[in-house]
Amino acid sequence: MTELLQHLINTLILGSTYALLGIGLTLIFGIMRVVNFAHGELYSFGAYILYFVAIMLGANFFVALIAAIVAGCLLGAILEFVLLRPMRGADIDTTMLVMIGAMIVMQNGEQFVWGGVAKSVATPFPELPLVIGSFSVSWLRLFVFCAALALIGVAYFLINRTKLGKAMRATFQDRDAASLMGVNIQFIYMATFAIGSSLAAAAGALLGPVYVISPQMGNLASLKSFAIVILGGLGSIQGATIGGFLLALAEELGAGYISSGYRDAMGFLIIIAVLLFRPTGLFARVERIG
């Protein structure tokens, strides 16, 4: 029983960052109808910005974390303006190829700039874990969980309680009608891609210190973000949140009770089952954004 509860604690911590990845990806698809294959590279970009600001520039860890989120937002806006805006109106296959190209360029650029050697980031948190009874959790992982929950809350507030969020929901429901009502569709697309990119960068910056940072870290993150979106249903923010925690639960239980070597495989087995029996996802709805 104690082991199961420890796995559940780990699930909450990992699932919160997975949810960030999933929300960012499903937000972009739901509003822009763009399959962002570069999402995993935005995740690794956030981790590298954290490393650059915290280690190479010697800034405060929390300042570096904020810098990584802001940098992810700016990069997302640039990618939308340079790559996606000229492709507006193109078919989905064309935009997919463009984003695959962006993914390859970003990954090779990271390897060129930072090298292929994995890097680690020191944090201000104590090395000794927080122990409550028979359970233990590192202070860093506890911070990651709290920060990820806070960012998820900010994303929900932005989409459901702000004028920008109302415009985003209107664009999702009917782009032409929203444009007639005065919504700047070009700006909404840029804001959507920037916000989704910042959430991916935030997930990378939060998990970078937990593991190690490498140019290939975005590959698995990209696969998992697509798995989360498939679980929750394309375009469903609530589904992406729940899907992130479900994927983390599958990985933790698979690693704990079967083999750690099958950690990643367990989640994707669930994805195959979902695609076979409920292709629209577990939580897909008619109204999927907001």
pLDDT tens-digit readout, 182-220 = 999 999 999 999 999 999 999 999 999 999 999 999 998
User: What number of other Cβ atoms are within 10 A of residue 26's Cβ?
Assistant: 30
Indicate if the alpha-carbon torsion angle 187, 190, 193, 199 is positive or negative: negative
Q: Please state the pTM of the whole predicted model.
A: 0.92
pLDDT at position 285 over 70 = no
Number of other CB atoms surrounding residue 212 within 10 Å? 13
Q: What does the pLDDT read at residue 288?
A: 43
CA gap 191, 197 in Å, rounded: 10
Q: What is the DSSP string of 67-118?
A: HHHHHHHHHHHHHIIIIIGGGTT--HHHHHHHHHHHHHHHHHHHHHHH-SS-
- The one-letter code for the residue type at 261 is G
Average pLDDT over residues 38-48: 96
Where is pLDDT greater, at 137 or 284?
137
* Rounded distance between C-alpha atoms, residue 79 and residue 17, angstroms: 23
* Count of residues in the chain: 290
Q: Is the pLDDT of residue 287 over 50?
A: no
- Per-residue pLDDT at 209: 93
**Model pLDDT, residue 276:** 85
pLDDT at 56 over 60: yes
Q: To the nearest whole number, what is the mean pLDDT of the chain?
A: 89
The residue-averaged pLDDT of 8-23 equals 91
C-alpha pair distances (Å), 164 with each of 111, 168, 192, 216, 280? 36, 6, 10, 34, 27
Over the stretch 236-277, which tens digit does the pLDDT of each residue have? 888 899 989 989 998 888 887 777 777 778 777 877 888 888
Residue-wise pLDDT tens digits, 129-167 = 888 777 788 999 999 999 999 999 999 999 999 999 999
